[in-house]
Structure 1
Amino acid sequence: MLMKKTITRGNMFRQLKADLGGKDSYRGVTLTYTWLANQFGHFSLGFIPAFITYLLLKPHMEETRAALNAAWIISAIWLVFETINFLGPLTFGKKGGMKSYVFQPAWGNVAFDTITDLLFFWLGAFFCSLLCAPTLLAEEIVMITGLLILYPSYYWYLTKMYLQTPGYPFQFRLSQWNTEQIDSSDIELVRRFLDNNSMGMHLFLFGPKSSGKTSLSVAIATELSIRHYSAVYTSAMKLYCMFFEQDDDTNAGVLWTWRKASILVIDDINPGDPIKEDLITPDRFLSFVDGSSSHDINRTALKDTNVIWVLGNDDEDRKLSAKWQEMLYSIGVEKEKMLSLNLQRFAPKPAKAGYGLQLQS
């Protein structure tokens, strides 16, 4: 998959400057700010327990030995904790273990995150040791750990920028999507969209309310954002207005527009059950695309972008999948680049009403 727009080091510097200055009480927090605060917390959770342990050990042994022992003890505790935290919830802590996942977690990515946390824990613990009773060993460990932490810090800060820019409505990874009845062919279809090496792939998600369309679309796009692909999440209503907007790269707060993104998620095109009527037809959607002076640019952007279309119900009588594919074919999308997944058969059945039982929306 080719990337249309990437985040530069200049973009990262401006984001870091914004995260370090100002007050979050009135501007809110970003994912990048949260990551920075989280890692400072990990450093502190290495430093503070090591200092307390040093104070407990100091009356019983030499200061330098107490400082080093405190750092080793706290580092070992966090190693055991993070190992359990990594393996427990993802494997033994989940009913059915690894086999219960519809989509397996990105184990390498999760392991890398765990290692990053450990480096910050260890850096805090041995930095405390260095301050309490300087030793050559503590100094070497601090220097090595500090160097090892540089790339993970760069990677994760950049990744958080890719995750916050699309404007996803919630944070959700593909391994968290758990509809047990999904067919293996549909799982392979999602993987095909994720792993394709070209632009212009289109995935249609059909289904009623509560079938998991939006969650699945966000999860797929999130995995691609973590791979550092530029993405945009939007509702259909917002996109109709965006068809009439001009791209403006002069705004430092906008890293890319929908036309320059690699991934586009169009949510809420049609609501699906319990609303039977399709509010937007393929022809009507195309009329919005062509309604502005930028209609040629809009068509090209839609054709050449990897798009996830979140639609309403589909069945054999309505044949909506075929109609939407025909619309895309009319603007130049190749039919082998159109994928369709119907989640209607996986939607949860409503509970029966009874005394003390309230139906969930």
Structure 2
Amino acid sequence: MKFITRKDIFEQLKKDLIGKDSYRGVTLTYSWMANQFGHFSLGFIPTFILYKIFVSSTSINPPALWASLIVWSIWILFELFNFLWPLLKPAIKGQSSIKYTFKPEWGNIAFDTATDLCFFGIGGFTASLICGYSSIAAYLLVILTLLIIYPAYHWYTTKMYLQNAEYPFQHRLSQWQMNITDSNRAAIIDFVENTVQGKHLLLFGSKGSGKTTLSVGIATEASIRKNPCSYVTAVKLLCMFFEKEDQKAQKSGLWTWRDSSILVIDDINPGGLIKDDILTAKLFYQLLNNLDCGPSNIKHIREKNIIWVMGNEDPNKQLEEKWETLLKQIGVSESNIKIVNLDNSQKG
């Protein structure tokens, strides 16, 4: 398993800082830096404006320091409201709590909020020192700058883990708000909290059942915990089965599907009104076990955590065509296979 190194970080910084985003596109890391610069500006600009108001219309002393403290305090209150409102809103309305299918990672959200507040403060106290020197503003700026070093490293590398997974969209697991049975929900939570390799989640459901968003949400949580993950469609993966293990990854990627801790295989079959399997388990196995890379492919599929996203499970299919039978054929134990059918959840 390959983790992101300092060299990888510097290479990504070069890509983000040099060149025009209108030409190369915008990465998650670039967006994060732009977002933090926005937070810095929202501390800097209001402080400068408030300082000018204090100087021209009041006798507040020192005006620059008070302007920065007031602006930062306002942002602290605003961010506290943003963070606490989802927790306080049910109590205000007389409810027990907001019903999440999967609970948000509140610690992760709190850390993100604290990071934003540091950038607000850095912007405000920078403006304060430009307008008029104050030892208090200088001390606070130094402290916040030191405090932001680790969060900046953490969030920048987290965005690298997310963008190198090549998810088709951004989606946290707590954002998934569709019907699901308790047993299916428990199976998904067990897969998310699992810390060993070799677990397989077969996710069935017709078009509109939320299977792709659910799979991306599950893998996203692993990426945020800094695990190398990969999203790939079944057709693309079939082509990758013929790439040798020592073949280098594409320049844009830091790991291949073989290096991933969680692999999402999407669009295996459409389901819904299309009853027949376009890609059968038998054909999948034939391409998996090709002459050049068969043993390596089978080893990685067997020993990796994989979310298999496909259409409705058809009970009329022959046993050898079943995907769970395929997994058992390559050596996956039955205890490591979980099946979730979202259509059953929605009907219930």
What TM-score results when the alignment is normalised by the length of structure 2?
Answer: 0.94
1:100 partner SS: coil
What corresponds to 2:114 in structure 1?
115
- Is the Cα–Cα contact under 8 Å of residues 91 and 97 in structure 1 kept in the other structure? no
Residues in 2 aligned to 1:198 and 1:5: alpha-carbon distance in whole angstroms: 16
Q: Show the 5 A alignment for 1:193-208.
A: 193-208=191-206
What corresponds to 2:78 in structure 1?
81
Q: Show the 5 A alignment for 1:1-361.
A: 4-60=1-57, 65-89=62-86, 92=89, 98-179=97-178, 181-247=179-245, 248-249=247-248, 252-314=251-313, 316-318=315-317, 323-347=322-346
Q: Give 1:86 deviation, angstroms.
A: 1.6
The structure 1 segments of at least 4 consecutive aligned residues displaced by more than 4 Å after TM superposition are: 60-64, 93-97, 315-322
- 1:159-212 per-position Cα deviation (integer Å, ceiling 9, x unaligned): 000000011111000000001x31222111111111112111100000111001
Q: Give 1:290 deviation, angstroms.
A: 1.2
Instruction: Report the RMSD for the aligned CA atoms in angstroms.
Output: 2.2
Which amino acid in 1 is paired with 2:25?
G
- Is the Cα–Cα contact under 8 Å of residues 321 and 340 in structure 1 kept in the other structure? no
- Is the Cα–Cα contact under 8 Å of residues 32 and 157 in structure 1 kept in the other structure? yes
Q: Give 1:13 deviation, angstroms.
A: 0.7
**Aligned residues, how many?**
345
Classify 1:266/1:321 alpha carbon distance in 2 versus 1 (closer, same or farther; 3 Å). farther
Q: Give 1:320 deviation, angstroms.
A: 7.6
Please list every run of 5 or more consecutive structure 1 residues that lacks an aligned counterpart in the other structure. 350-361
Which amino acid in 1 is paired with 2:3?
T
- Is the Cα–Cα contact under 8 Å of residues 102 and 173 in structure 2 kept in the other structure? yes
Residues in 2 aligned to 1:64 and 1:340: alpha-carbon distance in whole angstroms: 67
Which shows bigger deviation, 185-194 or 163-172? 185-194
Percent of aligned pairs sharing the same letter? 49
Classify 1:62/1:346 alpha carbon distance in 2 versus 1 (closer, same or farther; 3 Å). same
Residues in 2 aligned to 1:208 and 1:86: alpha-carbon distance in whole angstroms: 35
Please list every run of 5 or more consecutive structure 2 residues that lacks an aligned counterpart in the other structure. none
Which amino acid in 2 is paired with 1:156?
W
Q: Give 1:317 deviation, angstroms.
A: 4.3
Q: Give 1:344 deviation, angstroms.
A: 1.0
Which amino acid in 1 is paired with 2:120?
F
Classify 1:250/1:192 alpha carbon distance in 2 versus 1 (closer, same or farther; 3 Å). closer
Classify 1:15/1:202 alpha carbon distance in 2 versus 1 (closer, same or farther; 3 Å). same
Residues in 2 aligned to 1:249 and 1:241: alpha-carbon distance in whole angstroms: 15
Which shows bigger deviation, 159-168 or 248-257? 248-257
Residues in 2 aligned to 1:48 and 1:335: alpha-carbon distance in whole angstroms: 60
